Amino acid sequence: MDKLKVFQIATVGLLLLNIILMAFIFLARPPRGGGKPPRAAERLGLDEVQNDQFRELAKAHQRQMRTTNDRQTELLQAYFLQLTTDSAATPGPLPAGVATLEQEKINSTYQHFLEIKKILRPEQQAAFPGFIDNMLQRILLKKSKNRPPPPRD
């Protein structure tokens, strides 16, 4: 068998393998139970008006958290820049505003959840504890399958 015939057979084989692989990717069903968790609107049974209110509340909360996180980053960056000096072996005290900003983030999130609860109708209130439980798991990274492993030394 000459080289040309071997290359032709290999090309046809690879082409068939690619077609089979593409068919498997596009025609295979996604696994059951997987996928995205239900959105807040679905979990709480929000109507269109409530969903719009929820989105506005979420955007406002995200802006507030981003601002607070930016301020906290500035404080912590200055603190950790101490490592670049000769006195790195003895760190100074934590910046006073770090604890205040952390408390502000916690209070902001609590108020955000209260505002969400206020837009719910009485029949939707029963779903609220499950929503809070789910959100706390996401916020606090509890029971998360996507939790990153600890760093290796």
Determine how many CB atoms are found less than 10 A away from the CB of residue 83: 10
CA–CA separation, 15 and 26 (whole Å): 17
Structure confidence at residue 15 (pLDDT): 94
Contact 68, 99 (CB under 8 A): no
State whether residue 148 is helix, strand or coil. coil
Contact 119, 32 (CB under 8 A): no
* Residue pLDDT, tens place only, 27-40: 877 665 555 556 77
Averaged pLDDT for residues 131-147:
75
Q: Is pLDDT above 90 for 106? A: yes
What is the 8-class DSSP label of residue 127? G
Q: What is this structure's pTM?
A: 0.64
8-state DSSP, 144: -
Tell me the chain's radius of gyration from C-alpha atoms: 26
Q: pLDDT digit string (tens) for 74-100?
A: 988 888 888 887 766 677 778 888 889
Give how far the C-alpha of residue 133 lies from the chain's centroid of Cα atoms, to the nearest Å.
Answer: 15
CA–CA gap between residue 85 and residue 71 (Å, rounded): 23
Query: Average pLDDT in the 122-149 region?
Result: 80
